[in-house]
């Protein structure tokens, strides 16, 4: 990993020499991120992470003039909760279901768009199953339909130019650095990423905002970043994000092949065992970095406790919702049986892992499942 050395920790908004130096590093990072995501530097807004970026997009793009929102049921909590807050403010929301393979129902999503639909949200890769969503297809179809519906409400004699009111936000935090992501090709209006998802520093993310789009800021009190996200920019974190993103994209194919091999080893080891399990991830439509698997009838909470004792670290649902005892909304949206939802765990795979790590994990996992299954059998 290369090092970037700063001679000062100055405020990049300061006009003195140290401030100008900090500003230089900040803008170089902004330009690098823009290039890597196929966006413009003026479209890059640094945030504290994807949670802030998603909140900024949902609240910032919402409009009382077009108060209807279309969103998938399986978005990350930091997208769903802001939208639910808007529901309480009399915004109308259509929640779109997901198919059994974890992919959004595009037909239902298109049928939900109305003349007053102002916002549509669809993540690029699901955080619990790894399923890759057809964002580009949805955007192209949704924009056309929105324009058709909106134009029918405008007087044919009007000479005032107009465009579709619909704006599309994409949470790409699980995708960027793992698969090719082009802001320009996706066609979305906003896109969020988080640095720690591609081995960057925690505490920084990006919201990409299409040039010319209006965005109401969440915060007030500063001129930074065109006033859309005021506050002193964290130069060190921005440089760290840009560097990690560049390395992730440069090494993407190598990392992807290694992770595929690790995931396949995990799958093969489980498949050769005699324990009961069900994969909830459709491997044909998902990234290899995430595998969701259920071990019915054993509860996920019990498995997490047992696994932790032998240093197997996985999660039930998204990490941001791991303290919740509620069933996974992602798996619920897939209409999985209750038994599978309650016993589901999410395993993340990293190129930093080894085949030996996978073999140890599956060996201990199988032992624990067998022990717990025998206990259940004796009880019955």
Residues labelled catalytic: 320
Burial (CB count within 10 angstroms: exposed 0-12, middle 13-18, buried 19+), residue 351:
middle
DSSP string computed for 67-129: -EEEEETTS-HHHHHHHHHHHTTT-EEEEEPB-TTS-B-HHHHHHH--TTEEEEE--SB-TTT
Query: What is the C-alpha to C-alpha distance for residues 344 and 279, in angstroms, rounded to an integer?
Result: 9
Query: What is the C-alpha to C-alpha distance for residues 351 and 335, in angstroms, rounded to an integer?
Result: 32
Reduced DSSP (H G I as helix, E B as strand, rest coil) percent helix, strand, coil of the chain, to 5? 45, 15, 40
Q: Closest Cα partner for 21 from 4, 37, 46, 33? A: 4
CA distances from 175 to 53, 149, 297 (A): 15, 32, 32
Task: Name the phi and psi angles at 377, rounded to 5.
Answer: -65, -40
Query: What is the C-alpha to C-alpha distance for residues 63 and 137, in angstroms, rounded to an integer?
Result: 24
Task: Name the phi and psi angles at 190, rounded to 5.
Answer: -140, 150
CA distances from 28 to 49, 125, 240 (A): 19, 28, 12
């Amino acid at each position: 990993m290369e090092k970037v050395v700063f001679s000062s920790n100055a405020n990049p908004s300061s006009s003195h020499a140290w401030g100008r130096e900090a500003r230089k590093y900040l803008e170089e990072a902004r330009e690098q991120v823009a290039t890597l995501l196929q966006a413009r530097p003026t479209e890059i807004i640094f945030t504290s992470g994807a949670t802030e970026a998603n909140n900024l997009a949902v609240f910032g793009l919402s409009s009382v003039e077009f108060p209807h929102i279309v969103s998938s049921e399986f978005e990350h909590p930091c997208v769903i909760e802001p939208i639910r807050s808007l529901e309480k403010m009399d915004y109308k929301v259509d929640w779109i279901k997901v198919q059994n393979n974890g992919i959004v129902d595009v037909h239902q999503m298109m049928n939900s768009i109305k003349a007053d639909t102002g916002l549509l949200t669809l993540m690029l890769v699901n955080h619990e199953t790894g399923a890759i969503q057809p964002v580009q297809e949805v955007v192209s179809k949704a924009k056309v339909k929105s324009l058709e519906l909106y134009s029918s409400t405008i007087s044919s004699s009007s000479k005032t130019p107009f465009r579709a009111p619909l704006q599309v936000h994409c949470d790409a935090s699980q995708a960027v650095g793992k698969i090719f992501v082009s802001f320009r090709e996706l066609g979305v209006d906003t896109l969020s990423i988080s640095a720690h998802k591609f081995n960057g520093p925690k505490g920084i993310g990006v919201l990409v905002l299409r040039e010319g789009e209006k965005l109401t800021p969440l915060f007030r009190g500063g001129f930074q970043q065109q006033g859309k996200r005021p506050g002193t920019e964290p130069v060190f974190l921005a440089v760290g994000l840009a560097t990690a993103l560049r390395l992730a994209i440069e090494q993407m194919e190598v990392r992807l092949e290694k992770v595929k091999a690790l995931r396949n080893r995990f799958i093969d080891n489980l498949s050769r065992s005699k324990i009961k399990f069900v994969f909830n991830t459709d491997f044909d439509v998902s990234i290899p970095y995430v595998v969701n698997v259920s071990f019915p009838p054993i509860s996920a909470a019990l498995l997490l406790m047992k696994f932790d004792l032998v240093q197997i670290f996985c999660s039930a649902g998204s990490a941001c919702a791991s303290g919740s005892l509620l069933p996974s909304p992602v798996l619920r949206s897939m209409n999985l049986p209750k038994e599978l939802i309650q016993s589901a765990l999410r395993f993340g795979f990293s190129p930093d892992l080894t085949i030996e790590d996978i073999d140890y994990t599956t060996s201990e996992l199988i032992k624990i499942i067998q022990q717990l299954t025998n206990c259940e059998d004796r009880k019955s």
